[in-house]
Structure 1
Amino acid sequence: MIELIKGKLNEIEEKENIKIIHAVESGSRAWGFPSPDSDYDVRFIYIRPLEDYLKLQPERDVIEWQMDETLDINGWDLQKALRLLYKSNPTLFEWANSPIVYKTTPYFNEVKKEIYSYFSCKSGLYHYLNTAHSNYREYLKRDKVRLKKYFYVVRPILACKWILDKKTPPPMLFSDLVREELDDRMKPVIGELLNIKMKSPEIEEGRRIDPLNLYIEENLEELKSVIDKYEKDYNNSWDGLNRLFMKGISLWNEG
């Protein structure tokens, strides 16, 4: 699959006339708990030729290449990525921290050095808290629930705890978050659920896990109280991002 994905990325570069500067896995495989039939969520950042950025009619800044049961491949233009980084979009930090890298460049290493100066704890906290809230509200409050959705609630809760403790973007690997941030009393519950998920093609509906729901509800309430009082901590300078963008598009002319 890795070779197939790399081949797809080469195909995208050729047919879209772009250069991919970074491509990673972004879903459950990068989080460390794929099911046997999990698809591959491939995400990438790309640049276009300089003249494309000078046209009166802007090029589309997203490429959606393939979405099926096996592959989900899409990417963002560098300009879009850097504009979102200015807003401390958590997606960029996840892509930069993915443990599964399909392709990267020395230039992206320079981007990574600048990325962390744009990390806003408050923005990250609200993102992960809202993710946990919405998934819990939609999937886990009935008697019968989609068990795999527990991971889509517990992981962002632990990500919030990581940010509060360490003031850095949370790691992608769920095991790192569990080790550092999950209460010891909940580790056997999560461990058993994790074992089921990774051995089963798909976790279907099962009975609600009341101790885990209680843990979630307590933490959602506590985190909201803390985050609402958290001071804003945004980097309001465009200078570093403009420099990175100009250097990025100059790569096209360097071959």
Structure 2
Amino acid sequence: MKEKILEAIIRIEQQYEVKVCYAVESGSRAWGFPSRDSDYDVRFIYVHKKDWYLSIEQKRDVIELPIDELLDINGWELRKALRLFKKSNPPLMEWLHSGIVYYQAYSLVDKMKDIQEKVFLPQAALYHYLNMAKGNFRDYLHRDQVKIKKYFYVLRPILACMWIERHNTVPPIEFQILVDELLGEGQLKQEILTLLERKIRGDELNLEPKVIAINDFLEREIMRLEEYTKTLKVSKEDITPMLDKLFREVLKEVWSQ
């Protein structure tokens, strides 16, 4: 599959006259709980030629390929990525920490990682993950009968919130690391690991009675984290000049080769 993904990247570069700097897995495969039929969620950052940026017109800053049964691939233009980086955009932060890297070129990602501590906003990340958890809990887990896969749409963001609360850093993308670090031994952890094993095995679409221990844990954490986020007051220096410099450096590096 990696060969197919790399072929798609080459086609993108040729068709759109861009250079791809970074391409990673961003979905359930990167999170560590793929199913047997999971597709590949590939995300990438790309750079246009210099003249593309020297225009009064606002241009499309994403590239999205048609989704097929196996591959979902889309990317963000460099300036868009850096603007979102400045806001500590959680999905972008996850891209930077994906354990499945399909392609990396130039110095962009290494430079972004070097300054991520100056960028990371715990409050913004907490709100993102908490709102994701609340929405998915409301939509999927209030019923008496639930699908196994839906638990992970709530568990992972809640554990990400707990990681940020404890460490004040970007949470690991891998679900298993979050479970091992944040949950002690006992019924809750065992119930989660059992569901994880079953999801990977392919039972994820089964409708069955909700797991009381997990539901109770999620409800408690959502309520507690809602109160915790209200206490946070985080300020960061304006790093726009630093990111402007990074943008110009990468643009020069990519197109001088």
Work out whether 1:239 is the aligned partner of 2:241.
yes
Structure 1 position 180, deviation (Å): 0.6
Task: Name the CA shift for 1:215/1:201 in 2 (closer, same or farther; >3 Å).
Answer: closer
The answer as to whether partners of 2:46 and 2:77 remain within 8 angstroms in 1 is yes
Worse-matched range after superposition: 136-145 or 178-187: 178-187
Structure 1 position 201, deviation (Å): 6.5
Q: Distance in 2 between matches of 1:235 and 1:120?
A: 11
The answer as to whether partners of 1:21 and 1:104 remain within 8 angstroms in 2 is yes
SS of match in other structure, 2:103: strand
Structure 1: any 5+ residue segments left out of the alignment?
Answer: none
SS of match in other structure, 1:66: coil
Q: Distance in 2 between matches of 1:117 and 1:203?
A: 41
Aligned pairs for 1:90-109 within 5 A: 90-107=90-107, 108-109=109-110
SS of match in other structure, 1:172: coil
The answer as to whether partners of 2:18 and 2:47 remain within 8 angstroms in 1 is yes
Structure 1 position 47, deviation (Å): 0.3
The answer as to whether partners of 1:132 and 1:156 remain within 8 angstroms in 2 is yes
Q: Distance in 1 between matches of 2:222 and 2:204?
A: 27
Count of paired positions: 255
The answer as to whether partners of 2:145 and 2:210 remain within 8 angstroms in 1 is yes
Q: What does residue 161 of structure 2 align with?
A: 160
Q: Distance in 1 between matches of 2:149 and 2:208?
A: 10
- What are the superposed Cα offsets for residues 171-193 of structure 1, whole Å, 9 maximum, x if unpaired? 01111100111243311101110
- What are the superposed Cα offsets for residues 125-161 of structure 1, whole Å, 9 maximum, x if unpaired? 1111111100000111011112211011011111111
SS of match in other structure, 1:234: coil
Q: What does residue 187 of structure 1 align with?
A: 189
The answer as to whether partners of 2:198 and 2:204 remain within 8 angstroms in 1 is no
TM-score by length of 2: 0.96
Q: What does residue 141 of structure 1 align with?
A: 142
- What are the superposed Cα offsets for residues 195-251 of structure 1, whole Å, 9 maximum, x if unpaired? 110011642322111111101000101111111111123342211111111112113
The answer as to whether partners of 1:25 and 1:40 remain within 8 angstroms in 2 is yes
What residue identity is the alignment partner of 2:69? E
SS of match in other structure, 1:141: coil
- What are the superposed Cα offsets for residues 73-121 of structure 1, whole Å, 9 maximum, x if unpaired? 0000010011111111111210000000001124121222123310001
Structure 2: any 5+ residue segments left out of the alignment?
Answer: none
Work out whether 1:87 is the aligned partner of 2:87.
yes
TM-score by length of 1: 0.96
The answer as to whether partners of 1:146 and 1:203 remain within 8 angstroms in 2 is yes
Q: Distance in 1 between matches of 2:112 and 2:234?
A: 23
The answer as to whether partners of 1:129 and 1:220 remain within 8 angstroms in 2 is yes
Work out whether 1:127 is the aligned partner of 2:128.
yes
Q: What does residue 230 of structure 2 align with?
A: 228
Q: What does residue 219 of structure 2 align with?
A: 217
Worse-matched range after superposition: 175-184 or 67-76: 175-184
Work out whether 1:28 is the aligned partner of 2:43.
no
- Structure 1 segments (4+ residues) deviating >3 Å: none
Q: Distance in 2 between matches of 1:235 and 1:145?
A: 44
What residue identity is the alignment partner of 1:199? R
Task: Name the CA shift for 1:23/1:145 in 2 (closer, same or farther; >3 Å).
Answer: same
Aligned pairs for 1:40-55 within 5 A: 40-55=40-55
Q: Distance in 1 between matches of 2:190 and 2:175?
A: 15
Task: Name the CA shift for 1:36/1:84 in 2 (closer, same or farther; >3 Å).
Answer: same
Worse-matched range after superposition: 20-29 or 83-92: 83-92
Q: Distance in 1 between matches of 2:203 and 2:228?
A: 38
Q: Distance in 2 between matches of 1:80 and 1:204?
A: 39
Q: What does residue 206 of structure 2 align with?
A: 204
